[in-house]
Amino acid sequence: TEFIKSHVPAGQRIFALPFDPLYYFLTDRDSANRQLIFFEHTKIPPEQEQEVIDDLNRHNVQYIILSNRMRAIADGLGTLGTDYCPRLYKYLVENYDVEVTAGPWGMEPWWAWNHAVKILKRKMP
């Protein structure tokens, strides 16, 4: 949260996924999109994925918080890009680089422990 607070000016939006809305509260930053949960069980259709991408572009989102729950083994969660949201994942890979990693990224993510994040920064054109 300190990284976001110090690198994202007040009023600029961020985006946190797959399900980390707490970061909006902790950083006092708004989400770039209304969708707050991204997991296999939410069955986000391709049209909605495109809406998310459009919002990231419209709001010129510079930083994204990606938690290691993007690859969770619990039933219904799945892996981002493989089990859900392949278009969004491809967009993130093509348009953002990892700026910071915090926490035990290589550990198995669970609800209340082994939480880790990668903060992605938009690539320069």
Instruction: Evaluate whether 39 touches 88 at the Cβ level (below 8 Å).
Output: no
**In Å, how far are 12, 23, 51, 76 from 118, measured between CA atoms?**
19, 13, 23, 22
- Residue-level pLDDT at 23: 94
DSSP 3-state of 118 = strand
Instruction: Evaluate whether 28 touches 10 at the Cβ level (below 8 Å).
Output: yes
Tokens of 38: 């991204």
- Residue-level pLDDT at 75: 86
- Residue-level pLDDT at 105: 94
- Residue-level pLDDT at 111: 73
Instruction: Report the residue count for the chain.
Output: 125
- Residue-level pLDDT at 51: 97
- Residue-level pLDDT at 88: 98
- Residue-level pLDDT at 21: 92
pLDDT tens-place values along the chain, 125 residues long: 999 999 999 999 999 999 999 999 999 999 999 999 999 999 999 999 999 999 999 999 999 999 999 998 888 899 999 999 999 999 999 999 999 999 999 998 887 789 999 999 999 87
What would you report as the CA-atom Rg of the chain, rounded to the nearest whole angstrom?
Answer: 14
